[in-house]
Structure 1
Amino acid sequence: MRNNRLNSSLDEIDRTILRLLQEDSTLSNAKLAERLSLSVTPCWRRIRRLEEEGFIDGYQANLNRRKLGFGVLAFVQLGFGIHTDDSPNRFEKAILSHPEVLSCHKITGAADYLLQVVAEDLDSYGEFVELVLRAMPGVTSIHSSLALREIKSSSRLPVY
């Protein structure tokens, strides 16, 4: 499915750079320039512009969580009883310090937040729920869904 709303300030070369860097962020500028049939300096300038304008937030390696010992992947829905006090704001600040929380989203629907959490095993996930989530002020409900099998996991955006 093609996204026709992709930022109009990006031309085909910019979009190709973004696609290639999503596939392999270790590509050298020279290799990238070669693939784009550009010289090195204009390629480098385009990459810097994409970084400066915020299209590229950073570079990272995709790691295998299971190889690193994180056998549990949980999706956690959290609810707050009172939304008028400072509890949600304190929660948002506190959750930033927990590296086992891969993502945290304020959402619509029955829950207030959706978290993606990794843990070594069910016991360590249980400890995280008891010692961290249940200890957060204002949290009134916690619903966990554990991933039984990972079908697709990607952070790549569909850049056409």
Structure 2
Amino acid sequence: MPEIDAVNARLLTLLQEDGRMANAKLADHLGMSETPCWRRLKRLEESGIIEGYQANLNRRKLGLGVMAFVQLRCSEHDQAATAEFQRIVEATPNILACHNTTGADDFLLIVVARDLDDYSAFVDSTLRQLPGVTSIRSNLSLKEMKASSKLPVTSANGA
């Protein structure tokens, strides 16, 4: 695992701002030559710190006007039910995230849909069909005040 020194922290921050930044521009921002910059980048990729690159899309411009935070409670927690639950969740593109949580509910999902009718159909056709689900509570987002997948990156010494 490569050390997250100040240069790697800056490199990761720059790539989170612009994942398409050319190596030459990245090296220039870091004040280093291209070859050492490229080596650092490759080490970060090979170690799994950088998992991949993607475009950030505007869900509303794609017609996905509803975002829901869905809390699920399940009665079945055995390995087979959990594996089937996970398989369905991973195969469902409207589910953006799923977290196994502490507290009264077992899972928290982030779900998108075109509109309320589409979301209602999704609840009936997908969420109510998940194995062992005994409770579904939805909270609809009225206003998205912040949305980011950018992680705060600091070096090992806190810089």
TM-score by length of 2: 0.93
| Counterparts of residues 62-81 of structure 1 (less than 5 Å) | 62-81=56-75
Correspondence for 1:89 among 65, 72, 83: 83
Contact 1:79 1:140 survives alignment (8 Å): yes
1:67 aligned counterpart, secondary structure? helix
What amino acid does structure 2 have at the position aligned with 1:39? S
Cross-structure match for 1:53:
47
Residues 27-57 of structure 1 deviation map (CA, whole Å, 9 limit, x = unaligned): 0000000111111111000000000011101
- The answer on whether the counterparts of 2:76 and 2:131 sit within 8 Å (CA) in structure 1 is no
CA contact (8 A) 2:76 2:132 kept: yes
Extract unaligned runs of 5+ from structure 2. Answer: 155-159
User: Structure 2 residue aligned with 1:25, among 15, 19, 26?
Assistant: 19
Is 1:35 aligned to residue 29 of structure 2?
yes
Q: 1:37 to 1:85 in 2, by over 3 A?
A: closer
Q: CA separation in 2, counterparts of 1:40 and 1:85?
A: 48
Q: Distance in 2 between matches of 1:60 and 1:124?
A: 26
Q: Equivalent residue of 2:35, what SS?
A: helix
TM-score by length of 1: 0.92
Q: CA deviation at 1:87?
A: 1.9
Match of 1:121 among 115, 122, 146: 115
Contact 2:67 2:111 in 1 (8 A): yes
Conservation of the 8 A alpha-carbon contact between 1:74 and 1:145: yes
Q: How high is the sequence identity, in percent, across the aligned residues?
A: 55
Instruction: Provide the rounded CA distance (Å) in 1 between the counterparts of 2:79 and 2:23.
Output: 50
Instruction: Give the alignment partner of residue 103 of structure 1, picking from 82, 87, 97.
Output: 97
